[in-house]
A and B are shown apart, each in its own frame.
Chain A
Amino acid sequence: MRESTLKTRQLVFIAVLVAQGMVLSYIERLIPVPFIVPGAKIGLANIVTLTAICLLTFKQSGAVVLLRILLTASTFGSLSSFLYSFSGGVLSFFIMFVFSRVFKNDLSLMTISIIGAITHNLGQLLVAAFMIKSLLVLGYLPMLLVVAIPTGIFVGVVAKFLITHLERVQLQK
């Protein structure tokens, strides 16, 4: 395949993933909090992050995550919601990327997704504790983790389906 064709394909793929991530973030806002824990979310946008990590390079998948967070915050969110999704999103992206490359054959997508859900919560809560200058919010962490594991499994299963179909698209040389 020609270099330029490949480049265009990658560009389109990144754009599609960013758009999907934005829509999923929006849909997530429409779902009323389905859990007893305040602030707990399903993490639908993580489906897109996982897909990007599996199919793209570090730079490309990083771009997907950053663009999604920036665009979502500037269209539907505020400065504070940007800070929280940024801290959670970037931390979970780095950790998931490292785990997916280091333990390529040892860890399933579900486990990577759970790791992502846990680090997302951790990053957000740490920033929250710093912003409101109270460590008491960390008391929510265990409860959030209890929710993060089932939602992480769900996200992992969905991403698995998506990736199996998308693997047929040639994106790398």
Chain B
Amino acid sequence: MKKKEIIVIGILFLVSLIGALGVKTIQNKETLGQKEVLIKHEGKIIKRIPLTEQTNTSYRFENGEAYNVIEVSNGEVHIHEASCRDQICVNHPPISKNGEVIVCLPNKLVVEVHSETEAVEIDSIVE
């Protein structure tokens, strides 16, 4: 490995590290508005659940054989159960901040926390 390569890779590593921290900072920004849990399938919102400390509910998404059980409790959202084999969404830590998402790729399901009065609009949908 040559010196130039090490430098380029080092810079790349730093840039992605800064990018990752940037994404985290945007998500951690305190929001004033009412937070909401959006459950989307193939980009379409199929369920909205208000997210407060008191919300305590679960929602079962079904699409043929595929299913995900989404639980909202203590101001946090997590996926309790899923039909997919990799279980990445189930192992994902609970989310509670604006812009945070849990994605279940096999079931094409996105669970995201959304706040209406957010200045930085990073939520967008590909049409």
Chain A interface size band reads 20 to 34
Residues of B within 8 A of A136 (CB): 99, 101, 110, 112, 122-124
Give A39's nearest chain B residue, CB to CB.
Answer: B88
B16 contacts partner chain A, Cβ-Cβ < 8 Å: yes
CA distance A141 to B96 in the complex (A): 20
Interface of B is mostly: mixed
A81 contacts partner chain B, Cβ-Cβ < 8 Å: yes
Give B14's nearest chain A residue, CB to CB.
Answer: A146
- Interface-centre pick from A39, A132, A135, A141 (highest chain B CB count, 10 A): A132
Which stretch (B17-25, B51-59, B67-75) binds chain A?
A: B17-25
> Given A133-B43, A139-B99, are A110 and B1 neighbors across the interface (CB < 8 Å)?
yes
Chain B interface size band reads 35 or more
A15 contacts partner chain B, Cβ-Cβ < 8 Å: no
Interface of A is mostly: helix
Residues of A within 8 A of B91 (CB): 33, 38
A67 contacts partner chain B, Cβ-Cβ < 8 Å: no
Residues of A within 8 A of B42 (CB): 131-133
B47 contacts partner chain A, Cβ-Cβ < 8 Å: no
Binding site for B on A (CB under 8 A): 33, 38-39, 78, 80-81, 84, 106-108, 110-111, 114, 118, 128-137, 139, 141-143, 145-146, 149
Could you list 11 examples of A-B contacts with CB < 8 Å?
A38-B91, A39-B88, A84-B105, A108-B2, A129-B126, A131-B108, A132-B103, A133-B40, A133-B127, A136-B122, A139-B99
